[in-house]
Amino acid sequence: MHVGAHVSIAGGVDNAIERQTDVGGNCGQIFTASPQVWAGPDIDDEEAARFRDSDLGPWVIHASYLVNLATPKDDLREKSIASLQAECDAASRLGIEYVNVHLGAHTGTGVENGLDNAASAIDELDIPSEVTLLVESDAGSGTKLGDEFAHLAAVRDRSHVDIEFCLDTAHAFAAGYDLSSPEAVEETVAAFDDTVGLDELRCLHLNDSKHACGTNKDEHAHIGEGSIGDAGMHAIINHDTLQGVPFVLETPTEDGRGFAWNIDRVRELRAD
C-alpha cells in the first residue's frame, strides 16, 4: 500500500524525504513554495538531485492555492498559467510524476464559462512528457468548480491535454457524495467511475471531514474520527478498485496527533 502525507520542504526540497519516512510514509505530496503567494519554486540542482535519488514515491506537487484556472480575469489567468507551468517544470526536475491543481472559481460568469476557461488554460501549458496534471475534486463553496464529478469529466473532454484526477475524500463528502458506510462508498466510487473513470484516478487525498455530508465545508479530521468515520474509511482503504491508488493524507496536527498517528491508523484499518 502506498500511503504518505503532505510534508514540508523547509530547508530544502530534499528534506521532504526524511520528513516522510519519519511519519511512516512511502509516498507523498509537497508544495514547492508557499501556497499563499505568487512565489515560484526555488530549488537548486543539488537539492533536486538528492530528491530524485530517493526510492519513495509516487510524489505529487500541489499547485498554489492562488491558481484559478476558471477565472474570467485575464491577469489572474496569466498568473495562474505561469504558476502552474513552473510547478510542472519543477516536477520534471525533481522526477515527480504528478502536479495537482483545483479548477478554481468562475466568480459569477457561470459553470460552463468556468469549465471552458479552465480547459483552455490547461491547453496553454507545456507539460513535460514525464509529468501528468491531476485535477482535484473540490468541496464546492461559492462559485468553485470541481464539486461535481461531471465538472472533472467536462474539463477533460474540453481539453487537448491528457489530464487525470485526484479524488479528495473530505472534499467529495462535503460536496454531497456520501462515504460514511460501505454501501455509500460503493455508490460514490461507482458514480466516479461512471462519470470520470477509475482508470484515470491517480491519487486519493485520504482525509476525514469535520462536517456533515453536503455542507460544502472543507475542514479535515483525523482518519476515522470525523463524519466519514471508521466504517467509511475502512471501506475506502480496502475497496478493491482503489488498491493501486496512492493515499496521500492532509489530516490535521492537533490533539497531540499528526501524520504518523493517521498513517498508522490507515494501516490498522487496512489490516482489519
- Among candidate residues 133, 168, 165, the one with its CA nearest the CA of residue 152: 165
Q: pLDDT digit string (tens) for 223-272? A: 999 999 999 999 999 999 999 999 999 999 999 999 999 999 999 999 77
Rounded Cα distance between 124 and 119, Å, is: 9
Q: What is the DSSP string of 19-44?
A: HHHHTT-SSEEE-SS-TTS-PPP---
- Strand-pairing partners, residue 28, are 5, 59
> 130 pLDDT exceeds 90?
yes
Instruction: Count Cβ atoms within 10 A of the Cβ of residue 101 and give its class: 0-12 exposed, 13-18 middle, 19 or more buried.
Output: buried
- Mean of all residue pLDDT scores within the chain: 97
Residue 191 C-beta-side C-alpha neighbours within 13 Å: 18
The domain ranges of the chain are 3-271
Other Cβ atoms closer than 10 A to 242? 19
**pTM for this predicted structure:** 0.97
Q: In this structure, which amino acid lies at residue 93?
A: R
Residue 23 C-beta-side C-alpha neighbours within 13 Å: 29
Rounded Cα distance between 12 and 153, Å, is: 36
- Among candidate residues 150, 178, 169, the one with its CA nearest the CA of residue 247: 169
> 41 pLDDT exceeds 90?
yes
- Among candidate residues 196, 194, 177, the one with its CA nearest the CA of residue 236: 177
Rounded Cα distance between 37 and 40, Å, is: 9
Average pLDDT over residues 107-112: 97
Q: What is the DSSP letter of 144?
A: B
Cell 468556468 maps to which residue?
A: 114
Q: pLDDT digit string (tens) for 77-95? A: 999 999 999 999 999 999 9
**Overall CATH class of domain 3-271:** alpha beta
User: Cell digits for 206?
Assistant: 485520504
Predicted confidence at residue 20, as pLDDT, reads 98
Confidence of residue 117 (pLDDT cuts 50, 70, 90): very high
